[in-house]
Chain A
Amino acid sequence: GENVEQHPSTLSVQEGDSAVIKCTYSDSASNYFPWYKQELGKGPQLIIDIRSNVGEKKDQRIAVTLNKTAKHFSLHITETQPEDSAVYFCAASYFGGSQGNLIFGKGTKLSVKP
């Protein structure tokens, strides 16, 4: 089955700096890769996702890149702000005509220092 590795487990950056979180997956059939942000005591919030037919997707300060050959994808946050502090989860899934299960990474705790 699919396995998703996420690094680093913790990341501390200064406000205004960039943050990068990396994930690798094992199943080459996976074709959908979402990223979720989870604040303390709340449910995960989808912040960006990418499908396997696209190499990069950007939404304001957030971008995701996908390298299918190497089977890894990354989340890039530019101009970080204190409110970006949260736990970020990557996930991978395969959709072949029916709903597939998301396999999550273990999460990255991002701390943005003002």
Chain B
Amino acid sequence: GAVVSQHPSRVICKSGTSVKIECRSLDFQATTMFWYRQFPKQSLMLMATSNEGSKATYEQGVEKDKFLINHASLTLSTLTVTSAHPEDSSFYICSASGTSGGAWETQYFGPGTRLLVL
């Protein structure tokens, strides 16, 4: 149980285009989803937290107009990187927490999406 998927796993795009990444909780209802960014050999950096049906809460320094987050259902959240630039190239990981086995505080992570902006 507690499986989180992400799609796509890898994406290459041209500078200036927008990229959408999907995060799905496959076997539980995710009341809260999180989006992280990870640079090589570094820890996870929280970008934003979203609750189903509410606006996302962004961490300091993260541009909400640049990284659009939608959490429209209890099983799906999307991150859209708008007008992507090479500096946006990174590993994006989502996580979800909810009511899996009563351990609502546990975050389960997706496999990540590698974004490369040319």
Contacts and interface: CB of A to CB of B under 8 A. Distances in A.
B46 A101 contact: yes
Interface residues of A, dominant DSSP:
loop
B106 A99 contact: no
B108 A89 contact: no
Given A99-B31, A99-B32, A44 B46 contact: no
A71 B83 CA distance: 43
A104 interface: yes
Contacts of B42: 106-107
B109 A106 contact: no
Interface residues of A, number: 21
A102 B97 CA distance: 11
A44 B44 contact: yes
Nearest to A49: B106
A11 B108 CA distance: 25
A43 B106 contact: no
Contact of B112 (A43, A46, A93, A106): A43
Interface in A21-52: 32, 34, 36, 41-46, 49
A47 B6 CA distance: 20
Interface string B12-48: 0000000000000000000110100000001110100
B43 A104 contact: yes
Contact of B97 (A43, A44, A99, A106): A99
Nearest to A32: B105
A49 B46 CA distance: 20
B111 interface: yes
Interface of B: 4, 6, 31-32, 34, 42-44, 46, 49, 51, 93, 95, 97, 104-112, 114
Interface of A: 32, 34, 36, 41-46, 49, 89, 93, 95, 99-102, 104-107
